[in-house]
Amino acid sequence: MALLKIARMGHPVLKQRAEEVSDPTAPEIRHLVADMIETMQDANGTGLAAPQVHIPLRVVVFYVNAARAAREDAGDELDSQESDDDSGESGVPLTVLINPELEFLTEEQSIGWEGCLSVPGLAGQVPRWTALRYSAFDLEGRRFERTARGFHARVVQHECDHLDGVLYPQRMIDLSTLTFTSEIGAANEPVENQS
């Protein structure tokens, strides 16, 4: 495994649609995923998409820390009786998405802080759909599906945006909230790197 260089905002690889993976079980995909996981963990990120490491393929790795999800979701007005997150809890274990597809389950959006390893030192308030279903292939070539709400849904949308050449500042509706992460702490708004 190796640490990979993270592309930063402005690099052409972050502006294009990534290509479909033809064989999710290929050894080079397994190797890429292992390197992406190591890179994400080293950078203290929640997720990482292949274009962020200069590989224009539709591959994402992410996890959702249960404590962070609870903290992030505490401010959302989600109906807990409607939550059918397939993880069975607010956390989601390390997950690999190959050729993911999203289906939004609601028109409802919430605005939350997002940071990004490709936009270092900055964060902004981004609107995201509060519930979605996603499907993807895993490293064994099996297609799976999950329903996500709250912070889990936010992470998946953020990472999948990278596969379509979109960075979170392009989703912001109020650019006045784009700020240095060091300044957010002064306002008691915790932000960690999304991807």
Domains and CATH numbers, the chain: 12-186 (3.90.45.10)
CA–CA gap between residue 49 and residue 59 (Å, rounded): 6
CA–CA gap between residue 156 and residue 159 (Å, rounded): 5
Q: What is the pTM of this model?
A: 0.88
Q: Does 146 have pLDDT greater than 90?
A: yes
19 secondary structure, DSSP code? B
Handedness of CA 76, 165, 65, 84 (dihedral sign): positive
Report, as an integer, the average pLDDT of 137-143: 98
Residue-level pLDDT at 68: 84
- Cβ atoms of 53 and 47 within 8 Å: the answer is no
Task: Give tens-digit pLDDT for 62-112.
Answer: 999 988 888 888 765 433 333 334 434 579 999 999 999 999 999 999 999
CA–CA gap between residue 15 and residue 51 (Å, rounded): 9
Task: Quickly state the pLDDT bin for 192 (edges 50, 70, 90).
Answer: low
SS3 of 5, please? coil
DSSP percent split of the chain into helix, strand, coil, nearest 5:
30, 30, 40
Tokens 């389950």 sit on residue:
105
- Residue 22: CB atoms within 10 A of its CB come to 9
Residue-level pLDDT at 26: 98
Active site residues: 159
Q: Does 13 have pLDDT greater than 60?
A: yes
Who has greater pLDDT, 190 or 106? 106
